[in-house]
Amino acid sequence: MLKTMPELSNGVDADAVNSLRSAVMRLSRRLKHQRVDESLSPTEMSVLGTLARCGRATPGELARKEHVQPPSMTRIVAMLEAKGLVRLEAHPDDRRQKVVTQTEQAEAMLEESRRKRNAWLAELAAGLDDDEWAKVRDAAPVLEKLAQL
C-alpha cells in the first residue's frame, strides 16, 4: 500500500511545509545569535533593517511594516533615538507627524551586522557540496518572495 503525502486544504504538501517552517525557524534563531550589538532587541534591529531597505518613514508606517501596534513602535523609536541610531524630523507635509531616519551610526552597525552574518552563513555554506549550494542559491529568490507575501 502506497503512503500518500498529507496535503493542506490548498493542495500543498504538509510535510514539505512543516520541514520548510522548521528549517527556516532554526536557521533564523541561529542567525539572530550572530549579532554585533547585544544591547539591541531583535525588534529594534528589524526596525533599523526596515529603515535601511525602505528609507525614512513615519512611526505609523513602521508599525504597519513591522506588524506591531503604533504605541509599541513609538516606544521602539524613542529607544533607538536615545541610542543615537535614528533621528526624528518634521514631516514635510503634515506638521503633526514626525519622520524617522536612521543615522550614520545605525548604517555602520547594520553593515557590520550583515558582514558578520554573511561570514557565518558562508562558513556554513562551505560545508555543502556544489549541488546543494546550487539548490540553496536557486531557492534564495523564492524564499525572499515568501518573506514578502
User: How many of the other CB atoms lie within 10 Å of CB of 2?
Assistant: 3
pLDDT of residue 9: 63
Which whole number is the average pLDDT over 119-142? 94
Domain assignment of residue 113, given as a range: 15-148
- Does residue 30 fall inside a structural domain? yes
pLDDT of residue 1: 45
Percent of the chain with pLDDT over 70: 93
The C-alpha atoms of residue 109 and residue 86 are separated, in whole angstroms, by 12
- Does residue 138 fall inside a structural domain? yes
Which whole number is the average pLDDT over 99-124? 93
pTM: 0.73
**pLDDT 10s digits, 22-32:** 999 999 888 88
Which whole number is the average pLDDT over 113-134? 93
- Does residue 7 fall inside a structural domain? no
- Does residue 115 fall inside a structural domain? yes
b vs e for 91-123, b when ≥16 Cβ sit within 10 Å of the residue's Cβ?
eeeeeeebbbebbeebeebbeebeeebeeeeee
On average, the pLDDT of the chain sits at: 89
- Does residue 114 fall inside a structural domain? yes
- Does residue 88 fall inside a structural domain? yes
pLDDT band at 147 (very low <50, low <70, confident <90, very high): confident
**pLDDT 10s digits, 34-76:** 877 778 888 899 999 999 999 999 999 999 999 999 999 999 9
In total, how many domains does the chain have? 1
CATH number of the domain residue 31 falls in: 1.10.10.10
- Does residue 4 fall inside a structural domain? no
Contact 44, 116 (CB under 8 A): no
pLDDT band at 95 (very low <50, low <70, confident <90, very high): confident
DSSP letters, 7-64, are B-TTS-BHHHHHHHHHHHHHHHHHHHTS-S-TTS-HHHHHHHHHHHHH--B-HHHHHH
Contact 46, 66 (CB under 8 A): yes
- Does residue 27 fall inside a structural domain? yes
End-to-end CA distance of the chain: give it in Å, rounded: 38
pLDDT at residue 4 is higher than 60: no
Sign for the pseudo-dihedral over CA of 92, 96, 101, 103: positive
